[in-house]
Structure 1
């Protein structure tokens, strides 16, 4: 019994900054929903891993205390945008070690409007290495996330001689999926023309609709051992078949595409696929880190869904949506569902769990048996997780 089981999941509807409940309330509600979904009692949870990046230390305890004050270890996790998946990674490791049999990974965020930036101007930034890359490539100054993924998009267009339409097409696809997700922030369909004519936010090519919005929300997942699942008659669990985390290497600083995690993604994906004993072409449904549509395009290739420079063919063949090889971002992804950073990775887990159970409603991927989750944090870390029925 080597697989860890996702026994239950829960999440709140994501919303714009200023419309949210306190993080404590959102997180507690998501945890309670996940406990109910798993059919267990909170007293059976032995450890908790709390993911967030905006908040004081021990916010995780403050949120969990609204569910129970049971004295269990609570570990607060901050790994930038990959924080949620890092919490899942740590919970899975704790179970695989044999130290515990049941854990909760939960994430939450109360974000502020506007582009992401640093909150610590009085000390060295972890983005000094990555900014040196953009200085070498004459990339305009901007808030770090916008500069990083904007630079990657421009470099991709130049390297493979494609137009910005490729990124607009991805945005349209994502929104078309979100239409069927009641938990998505944006559910109104858009066209390629809408995207291209929207407000330009970077380098004369990237528009606002190519970028995910700052969002607030929470999500939670109950993880357990196979033995625990059998003992407590958990029948609707989903297996984690493979999971891997990777961080930057020296190669990350060679060009703007590698600097936003393409190399980390390829390394983590290779390890996760090897652990699961499958290939990229076996996957049915995917939630990937489309914080910008540029990164979705880059990630197609880094995950091995297509060859280098072949994302445009995958898109033109509609192999990224229903009826094609893969359904990518059925939730609407970060682009449409929203990206409350600490919750994102765990919300991806929830979405894929629903698809593998056949509980995704109108957006259900028919016959889904294998799912892939991809979560990136600049600075950096990537977690790739493969789930199976």
Structure 2
């Protein structure tokens, strides 16, 4: 059996010198830093339900692709929310509420105190809001319920009913906005200004930086966990990661760049063909929006405008930007579920697989394989950013329910 991933694949290499200086150049450490990730981890690991998510190795797939080793960080069970986003939105909500209490009382409570109902007179009067394609809004809503404030979430018309219901289940008010994710961002911003709400967005723009920075620091926990899980003496030579507004990609890029300097892995960002703001920005050399309806099954990546903090990091730290088709994403989901090369079956959502799809396609293209230095010695890290966050859509694409695939995984572990 061969890899059955459908093209086409587009690639733009960074036009600037990549990681030409140490990470602290031009104040990058004031945007994202290892120190701030450590602070986030110290808080998050005390939350009820915290567990390090699995780092899976896929030797059968690696051999089939002519690569050394493939490692897949599976975020599908993170805090029961189904995605890595639980690390970002909820952490930013916590930081916002801590600051509000500190400004009134002079000291900042920890997460356990807020979750237990301390200072409810202060935090219950606050409302957090954001726009979402699904997962970030779910994290913000969960954080709001956990730490005691109100929540209003804006979704665009392309967000599925399943994802809306998952957000509402945490007590948030969910409002639909006509248009795209970026239209929802603007509506959330306007309503927050009118009502005095607090925006907890995962994308930064002019005049709005601090909270997205906190979101991205939470995402850095993924990289910290990965490197503690890697076999002794093993480091990835390549990281392929999903795009979206760039928050996760920039967080991982910053972590490896600051931690490993010139030995940092080749870093590649992968987006949907129909939502390619980062690739367009790399091509133009400045933040550039993706036009159109951003219609892609990779709903969590359906973003037309880059986060400015993320772009500051990626424009100097990412080696290349790829785009993949919806067909490639669907093929990769089915391949992970079927596990045709003897690896563990994996439940991966539509937005979880762009990085893996891009790497497998690049490995089959002789020119890109050479340009990206992919060979039999390559150790490639992927982050499976979500599980089946929309179970009905997952079953429609894969042909099996998430429970059926998980059951095959249990039998696989028993057999091996």
Q: Which TM-score bucket, shorter chain as reference?
A: under 0.3
> How high is the TM-score relative to the length of structure 2?
0.27
- Between 1 and 2, higher relative CO (CA 8 Å, sep ≥ 6) is seen in 1
Instruction: Return the TM-score normalized by structure 1.
Output: 0.28
Whose helix proportion is higher, 1 or 2? 2
Specify which structure has the higher proportion of strand.
1
